[in-house]
Amino acid sequence: MFRKSIFALLILLLLAACGPTRTSTPVKVTTEPAATVIPSATFTTTRSTTSITLTDGLNRTVTLASPVQRVVSLAPSNTEILFGIGAGAQVVGRDESSDYPAEALSLPTSGGYSGFNLEAIVALHPDLVLVGGINTPEMVASLEKLGLTVYFLPNPATLEEMYTNLETVGTLTGHTAEATALEDSLKVRVATVDEKILPISYRPTVYYELDATDPTKPYTTGPGSFVDLLIARAGGLNIGAQLKGEWAQISLEQLVVANPAIIILGDAAYGETPEKVAQRPGWGTLTAIQTGQVFPFDDNLVSRPGPRLVDGLEALAKLLHPGVFK
How confident is the model over 54-107, as pLDDT tens digits? 999 999 999 999 999 999 999 999 999 999 999 999 999 999 999 999 999 999
The fold of the 200-320 domain, in CATH, is Rossmann fold (3.40.50)
State the span(s) of the chain assigned CATH 3.40.50.1980. 46-189, 200-320
Q: What is the pTM of this model?
A: 0.85
DSSP code per residue over 128-185: EEEE-TTS-HHHHHHHHHTT--EEE-PPPSSHHHHHHHHHHHHHHHT-HHHHHHHHHH
- Alpha-carbon 226 to chain mean position: 7
Element (H, E) at 192: helix 176-197
* Residue 199 DSSP one-character state: T
CATH assignment of 46-189, given 3.40.225.10, 3.40.50.300, 3.40.50.1980, 3.40.718.10?
A: 3.40.50.1980
Encode pLDDT of 229-251 as tens digits.
999 999 999 999 999 999 999 99
Dist. CA 189–CA 40, nearest whole Å: 23
* Residue 196 DSSP one-character state: H
Dist. CA 112–CA 28, nearest whole Å: 10
Encode pLDDT of 217-233 as tens digits.
999 999 989 999 999 99
